[in-house]
Structure 1
Amino acid sequence: MTKLGLPDTILACLFDLDGVITKTAVVHEAAWKETFDAFLRQRDGAGFRPFDAADYDQYVDGRPRADGVRTFLASRGIRLPEGGPDDPPDAPPDKITVQGLGNRKNALVLAKIRTGGVEAYDGTLRYIDAVRAAGLRTAVVSSSANCLDVLRAIHAEALFDVRVDGVVAVERGLPGKPHPDTFLAAARDLGVQASRAAVFEDALAGMDAGRSGHFGYVVGVDRVGQADALRAHGADTVVKDLAELENGA
């Protein structure tokens, strides 16, 4: 292992955004809860069962927005029309679509980000600096369509040689996590084989992507006390903060 806590064979590091680089995961979870609870309360009335943290971790975290809508609603036995990207976010329950519900969540998360700002994990930024100083290439891989705005807000755009986010995924027709395609695309863009790249993720879907993509090393970042689940989904190692890896942890 190197002093960065990675195998000597690793040439590139692929970082998730929400929950790994920035503290926006909690903002996303709050926006999802507000979105789904309002929909379910209108739809189910007295039988309403709220969206909770376990739902977020299992069905939504790390997935592209529309996939999160479909996957969570399927867990409740609900299917909605797909709709189109411009569908209104405020349609009633009998008119709402997958895309419309996703648009409602995105409007909420943007409002929360603008109101509360974006905060980065200092340990991650220091670790990325160390990775780049050691000559390794870096990419940010996120399902968020707001990735670039968030990176600019924390002045971190220049820390990455490659960005594969929700916008790029749509342009290239790449399926999101738990599929490995966005991570594989980032490795290709960096000119390295998956076996020579390390994945850094906090989401279970991201662990699945790292494992199925046969990456050289998968680091689980445990922000919410799910270390065992991260390992079960494919993490080679689990840390609470990337600063732990600076000394070869």
Structure 2
Amino acid sequence: MTQGASGEQPFHPPSIDPTKFDAVLFDLDGVLTKTAVVHATAWKRLFDEYLQAKALRDHVPFQPFDILLDYQRYVDGKLRYDGVRAFLESRHIVLPNGTAHDGPEQETVQGLGNKKDGYFQAHLAQHGIELYDDAMQLLRNVRAQGMRTAVVSASKHTAAVLQKTGLADFFQTRVDGIESERLHLAGKPAPDGFLEAARRLQVDPPRAIVVEDAVAGVQAGRNGGFGLVIGVDRTGHAEDLIRNGAHVVTADLTELCP
């Protein structure tokens, strides 16, 4: 367990206290489900294919997508098209936005995003979805304590994933990529999705907890003024999570069970 060193009074003991908090807002990929690595692999396949073709076309060296650094910095936790745009900007590449109906062969932000989504869906269809045991234990524990729960994710597949894994009944509300688009909510690191979930649960942000594995996610939790932002370190990036707003970071969510 790592605690933030931002000068604030640390939480002690670092566990979820149901007398101080009324709700827990969970991210999906990388927190509840072992799908973050699937997303990262799909992003790498997408961008390496695109960058290789561009390098050949422009007669420049090929610089591949870094599945750790580039994924965490530019796309992890963000809405799909925001992730495409952010990574391309990091390579000084500007593409037209296109439309949501652009096919995978079209060289637009949304065309690339749709191509990545096809890679992700194909993997899920072939391999299925696994859950993190520690997250499930925490989820069951906070529910048993009478706390309200929500899932807040950039993924447009959130509802399908919850249904396939049997998680749907664990949450009172869901704010995902589809809902964010419908309500015109800004993606993480903006706090809009978490704030919308708290509003639906009728909980003030200081009385709610955010559980996130992405840098953009912990930034969103802090930007929204949530009472406790928990960083989940699945890939050895605890320092990044602390530096970007997590109050505490853990690799095992059972450490935080009330």
Identify whether the pair has TM-score above 0.5, normalized to the shorter chain.
yes
1:190 to 191, 201, 209: 201
Aligned runs of 1:1-249 on 2, under 5 Å? 5-7=15-17, 8-45=19-56, 47-52=61-66, 53-91=68-106, 96-246=107-257
Matched residue type, 1:49: Q
Are the counterparts in 2 of residues 12 and 197 from structure 1 also a CA contact under 8 Å?
yes
Q: Structure 1: which 5+ runs fail to align?
A: none
Matched residue type, 2:62: F
Are the counterparts in 2 of residues 145 and 166 from structure 1 also a CA contact under 8 Å?
yes
Are the counterparts in 1 of residues 232 and 253 from structure 2 also a CA contact under 8 Å?
yes
Matched residue type, 2:78: R
Aligned residues: 243
- In 2, Cα distance between the equivalents of 1:78 and 1:114? 32
Q: Which ranges of 4 or more aligned residues in structure 1 deviate by more than 3 Å? A: 1-4
**How far did 1:6 drift?**
2.0
**How far did 1:56 drift?**
0.2
What TM-score, normalized by structure 2, do the two folds share?
0.92
Is the partner of 2:25 in helix, strand or coil?
strand
What TM-score, normalized by structure 1, do the two folds share?
0.95
Is the partner of 2:256 in helix, strand or coil?
helix
Is the partner of 1:192 in helix, strand or coil?
coil
- In 1, Cα distance between the equivalents of 2:116 and 2:126? 15
**How far did 1:245 drift?**
1.3
- In 2, Cα distance between the equivalents of 1:108 and 1:39? 14
Are the counterparts in 1 of residues 14 and 248 from structure 2 also a CA contact under 8 Å?
no
**How far did 1:4 drift?**
8.4
Is the partner of 1:206 in helix, strand or coil?
helix
Alpha-carbon RMSD across the aligned residues, in angstroms, is 1.4
Matched residue type, 2:65: F
**How far did 1:241 drift?**
2.0
**How far did 1:153 drift?**
1.4
